[in-house]
Structure 1
């Protein structure tokens, strides 16, 4: 088990996900997103955040979930990732943001060994618990590695 600091918990449908709170720059209400020609399907486009263009991905698409309509609870989470040896600010649209909290016992378990299921998801850092319920902790660096590489090449 590895220790995790405070996390931002958010949800898509009834699934709860988390990312380290120290990575989060801000949480925004939905706003118009400028589409980018020939962009990957999971990239919604770009938004302006205080004079800086920020790429916004669809968290549901990144996680292979079925698309759904936005609601008044939908948010854009802006955070930084390490990609190609540098920090890049990106965002994703989530169904809702829940809270900033600590995981139970501040612990995160690794995913089951690949040999058991022949599966290992690069987007998942591990599994934690919040109030006794499972929370998937996202590995945002690996999650956005391919997307930030595609944006740099454009």
Structure 2
């Protein structure tokens, strides 16, 4: 049985996340910073009375820091029992991925981005990095601090 992914951009990379985890896609709004949180947590936003953390996905994956602008969006996802926001450059589309189109990650050692990926999907000659949302918030998956 195929599964559906929402695909989105982070720079030139196309990533995907299971559509069942998506709660909403909203325009960028500045997050209120919090003290003593990991560097990839940009702060919190109020979503109709629910305060949710906003993660800089680019920073979490070790690809630099996002300088959010009005063209960025926040994808609100459910991870476990909590809603979280992910800052991405743009949302692309919904794709169906057949089980045989999913590939495991090649062994590249413990690279920063690879530890947050579930696998790779090939759709219409495009390679989509499929995120593992549970690993994004796993405290044991720590990134080296930026110098």
Structure 2 length as normaliser, TM-score? 0.85
Q: For residue 68 of structure 1, report the CA deviation from its aligned partner.
A: 4.1
Alignment deviations for residues 54-78 of structure 1 (CA, whole Å, 9 cap, x no partner): 0000011011112243344310000
Match of 2:91 in 1: 97
Matched with 2:143 is none
Aligned partners of 2:71 and 2:94: how far apart in 1? Answer: 16
> Within 2, Cα distance between the matches of 1:8 and 1:52?
23
Partner of 2:5: 7
**Which of residues 57, 61, 67 is equivalent to 1:59?**
57
Alignment of structure 1 residues 128-139 onto 2, 5 Å = 128-139=121-132
TM-superposed deviation, 1:11 = 0.8
Q: Find the counterpart in structure 2 of residue 75 from structure 1.
A: 73
Provide runs of 4+ in structure 1 moved above 4 Å.
none
2:17 counterpart residue number: 19
Measure, in 1, the Cα distance between the counterparts of 2:4 and 2:71.
22
**Structure 1: stretches of 5+ with no match in the other structure:** 148-154
CA distance, structure 2, for counterparts of residue 96 and residue 41 of structure 1: 22
Q: 1:130–1:72: structure 2 CA closer, same or farther, 3 Å change rule?
A: farther
In the alignment, structure 1 residue 108 sits paired with structure 2 residue 102: yes
Maintained 8 Å contact 1:4/1:20: no
Instruction: Determine the C-alpha separation between the residues in 1 that align with 2:75 and 2:47.
Output: 11
Counterparts of 1:24 and 1:73 in 2: how far apart (Å)?
19
Count how many residue pairs are aligned between Structure 1 and Structure 2.
137
2:66, 2:47 → 1: CA distance? Answer: 25
CA RMSD of aligned residues (A): 1.8
Kindly state the Cα deviation for residue 140 of structure 1 after the two structures are TM-superposed: 0.4
Query: Is the helix fraction higher in 1 or 2?
Result: 1
Task: State the alpha-carbon separation in 2 of the partners of residues 80 and 91 from structure 1.
Answer: 9
